[in-house]
Structure 1
Amino acid sequence: MSVKRSVLFGAMALALAASPAMAGQAKPDQSKSEAKSDASKTTQEEPGRWDDTRKKALEIGSQPARDVGMSRREVPPILQKAYDDPYSLKGLKTCKALSAEVTSLNGVLGPDYVVGNAYKENRAGKLAEAGGKTIINSIIPFRGLVREVTGAAPADRQMNAAIDAGLARRGFLRGVHLKQGCKTKF
């Protein structure tokens, strides 16, 4: 199978998994109005689900460009600050300032862990993501070596270290927020 055809099939699989129209398809024993009702419930219950799927699809599709050094992801400034000093309280004397910092970190890292939330997984989405990654990652022969030579692998390690520091900082700030008896929300 040619590389172009492999990429095409991978893109089609991702598009099918990401399609909000699939959520509105009627089941065999379900009317179209019931299916639309179910689709709106899904959209209301999980407002960021389709946006997240599209972001993942774009990230997977742009991976070869990052692998060969044509594109780079920049470390967001809030994560760079966390990487430089994750336990600093400089400029964070008030509850409002602590809350604003945690909110900024949430914007980059995604929502924090919440006790009592049930783990939900979109199995079809995960399968499509795995298939897309497999196809896209097979485009570049000797991918690991290419990533090291072009600087993509060190850049990913730097991004992962910044994310780890951001997670540590968010946990630290939430602890300080709790210890100070703050009532502000994140």
Structure 2
Amino acid sequence: MRTPIWFVFVASFVLSGCNAGASARGGAEQIGAGLGDAVTAPLQDLNLRRDEIPTVLLQAEANPYDLRNLSNCRTIGAEVARLDEALGPDRDAPPAQDGSYVSERAADAAARAALDAVRGTVTDFVPARSWVRRLTGADAHSKHVQSAIQAGLRRRSFLKGVGMQRNCAPPAAPAGFVPRRN
């Protein structure tokens, strides 16, 4: 069951009347910024617009256990940082303290729900969507993107294990690992 678009807009309007007015405006700005991507979602189904796969993920897909040029903790940490940039923070990383208020997080959630509703409504207009995705190659590209992401996750985990074995400090090892003194 999808959230009606009108409900999200009414909720944003009500929030703007509260003390959370700035948060609601931020959510409205987020909707405005993401609306173009949500409306053009069918272009991905038709394979006219594609998500680019970062080079570091393509390299991880080709060889996730490659240790060439990773001879010390600094180079391992730099490779982990490249993967973090492409994948986002690892699960072992502490949550970022962004100082946001509950009202800001609620506005962000409302904005995401509104954009998901728009994206879902627009993609429903593509008849036989699953067949269109298969025939245009969009489905194969989507699977390739997911494969590259999984390879990047495996590589990052592998590198942190190697860093831990070599007594490296984070980010070349898992967060919370304390290298032993020699």
Shift of 1:54: 7.3
**Of 142-151 and 51-60, the range deviating more from structure 2:** 51-60
Query: Are 2:169 and 1:183 aligned?
Result: yes
Q: 1:52–1:142: structure 2 CA closer, same or farther, 3 Å change rule? A: same
Q: Deviations over 1:103-147 (max 9, x none)?
A: 1111111111136659x8854244324312311211211111011
Q: 1:174–1:58: structure 2 CA closer, same or farther, 3 Å change rule? A: farther
Given residue 120 of structure 2, which amino acid in structure 1 is its aligned partner? Answer: T
Structure 1: unaligned runs, 5 residues or longer: 1-8, 44-48
Please show how residues 142-157 of structure 1 align to structure 2 within 5 Å. Answer: 142-157=128-143
Equivalent in 117, 120, 130 of residue 134 of structure 1: 120
Q: 1:144–1:35: structure 2 CA closer, same or farther, 3 Å change rule? A: closer
Identity %: 28
* Correspondence for 2:52: 74
| Number of residues of Structure 1 aligned to a counterpart in Structure 2 | 156
Structure 1 residue runs of 4 or more that deviate by more than 6 Å after TM superposition? 49-55
Structure 2: unaligned runs, 5 residues or longer: 97-104, 173-182
Contact 1:60 1:133 in 2 (8 A): yes
Contact 1:57 1:129 in 2 (8 A): yes
State the TM-score, normalized to the length of structure 1: 0.67
State the TM-score, normalized to the length of structure 2: 0.68
Given residue 52 of structure 2, which amino acid in structure 1 is its aligned partner? Answer: E
* Correspondence for 1:106: 84
RMSD, matched Cα: 3.7
